[in-house]
Structure 1
Amino acid sequence: MKFIMLAYTNAESWAKGDFDPADVQAACDFYEQLGKELTESGEFVTTAGLGDPTHTRTIRKTDSGPVASDGPYAEVKEVLVSFAILDCESLDRALEIGARVTAAIGDTVEIRPVMDGDAGEV
């Protein structure tokens, strides 16, 4: 079953861009190793970091038609910074992988099943 793993980080820290180079290198090393491991196990599908949230636009339906507005929310404490699609045997396995990310990086991780169109998945 496929799962999307969404990683969130502190919005204030992200906006400041004040990152310790050693911490950044450790995060890069962790993600590189995790990517290799998940590729070898066949669980890796895709991943990507996301751009600065100030470039986010949200489109909502209004009476006069779709309207794009700045940002996802008026006020946020965490911002979505990356996602990964995993193909795991179970939710427990996806949670195990997400917990490793949280333990290593400190980001909040959300795991959500990805619907593939099968009737009855909802």
Structure 2
Amino acid sequence: MKFVILIHSNPQPWGHPTGDYIAEQQALPKEQRAQLNAEFVAVMAEMQEKGELLGGEALGNPATARLYRWEGGEPIATDGPYAEAKEHFAGFFLIDVTSRERAEEITAKFSGPGETVELRPTMQVGGDDV
């Protein structure tokens, strides 16, 4: 079963890893931040070892995005990001696991105080959601 883990972050300030720029995480004791980082590194290593991690990327500053929309039958490009959004897409990980429960177990380790992480199943063209 394939899932994508979507990392959302507030763009002010922008940077990676996103947790380093979130006030709730900055307020944690140094030891607790180190523990969260160690758990993240461990789950990444575990997924690689099991062949569950198919790929992923951190994304650049949303201020550098270009948006493409259709207007009057033509594509129109504008500077991004979506102005109405408080959070922006910061990165993703594509995983292939044996069950939704395993995907949820992994995703829970991606989230820390003040972070928003989304788990979404992938879908084959013409297929059904999981």
Runs of 4+ in structure 1 deviating by more than 6 angstroms, as ranges, are none
Q: Give the corresponding residue for 1:5.
A: 5
Which SS does the other structure have where 1:102 is aligned?
coil
Extract unaligned runs of 5+ from structure 1: none
Alpha-carbon distance between aligned partners in 2 of 1:8 and 1:56, rounded to the nearest angstrom: 15
Q: Give the corresponding residue for 1:63.
A: 72
In the alignment, which of 51, 60, 82 is matched to residue 91 of structure 2? Answer: 82
Structure with the higher fraction of residues in helix conformation: 1
Which SS does the other structure have where 1:121 is aligned?
coil
The number of equivalent residue pairs is 117
In the alignment, which of 35, 54, 57 is matched to residue 45 of structure 1? Answer: 54
Extract unaligned runs of 5+ from structure 2: none
1:109–1:39 Cα change, 3 Å? same
1:91–1:14 Cα change, 3 Å? same
Please report how far the alpha carbon of residue 31 of structure 1 lies from its aligned counterpart in structure 2 after TM superposition: 4.1
Q: Give the corresponding residue for 1:121.
A: 128
Percent identity reads: 37
Root-mean-square deviation (CA), in Å? Answer: 2.8
Alpha-carbon distance between aligned partners in 2 of 1:107 and 1:41, rounded to the nearest angstrom: 26
Deviation digits for residues 47-95 of structure 1, max 9, x if unmatched?
1100011011111111140011111311322121110000012222212
Q: TM-score, normalised by structure 1?
A: 0.77
Q: Give the corresponding residue for 1:110.
A: 118
Q: Give the corresponding residue for 1:95.
A: 104
Please report how far the alpha carbon of residue 115 of structure 1 lies from its aligned counterpart in structure 2 after TM superposition: 1.4
